[in-house]
Structure 1
Amino acid sequence: MRLSAMADSLREQLQSPAYTNLSFEERVGLVVDAEWTRRKSNQLSRLIKKATLRYPNACVEDIEYHADRRLEQSLILRLATGKYIHEKLNVILMGASGAGTEIFK
């Protein structure tokens, strides 16, 4: 059935005394959550690999906010939340390719 994360989680529960105070339902919930989390993580990894991104390990926290780039850290972090999608706001990125970008709302 390919439930390796569930098996790993169950082994961890059996070896650790910290889980003895939990009810059966809580322990089963933890095992199911571990499987779901691993499947989602594997799916995301597959999608990133399939996308053949130039920088697959890039993240918002690694952005360098030098003065010459004219990036507002608060705005970038706000955009990183994705809240603008739910609010149905438009984002326009302007600038020459490779010369950096400016973000306007």
Structure 2
Amino acid sequence: MLTEPTLEKLKSLHLYVMANAWVGQRTDPAIAELDFDGRFALLVDAEHIARDNKRIGRLLREAKLRIPSACLEDIDYAPKRELDRAQIRQLSSGRWIADHANVLITGMTGVGKSVTEQAV
């Protein structure tokens, strides 16, 4: 089988990650044990994950967040902040959106409530 024409076709279809994953599969002896469907699924998964990551990155850039690298794991749960870990974990699941529930954010002036509203 000629690999170069196939790689060029994948790249012309803008399937760059799939092309790179295929090259990686050809050099990995453990992958040879998988059947065609298994190998193909891995290629499709690699492309799908890369596109999702690219989309999320674009959305985060467009959001122009004040702290773009902020994440739930970095929340400071100091006692003076009076944050409930269980409640934050429940809100982060997004279940309240599916349940059509409201979330009310309160706090003193200058604590960043309006920044939170812009991020949502």
Compute the TM-score of the two structures, normalised by the length of structure 2: 0.78
The one of 10, 15, 28 equivalent to 1:16 is 28
- % same residue: 38
- After the TM superposition, list the runs of 4 or more consecutive aligned residues in structure 1 that deviate by more than 4 angstroms: none
Unaligned 5+ runs, structure 1: none
What letter corresponds to residue 30 of structure 2 in structure 1? A
The one of 40, 44, 52 equivalent to 1:32 is 44
How do 1:47-66 and structure 2 match up within 5 A? 47-66=59-78
What letter corresponds to residue 9 of structure 1 in structure 2? A
Unaligned 5+ runs, structure 2: 1-12, 114-120
Which structure shows the higher strand fraction? 1
**Two-structure CA RMSD over aligned residues (Å):** 1.4
Q: Report how many residues are paired.
A: 101
What letter corresponds to residue 74 of structure 1 in structure 2? A
Shift, 1:100, TM fit: 6.5
| Higher Cα radius of gyration | 2
SS at match of 1:47: helix
Matched, 1:46 2:58: yes
What letter corresponds to residue 75 of structure 1 in structure 2? Q
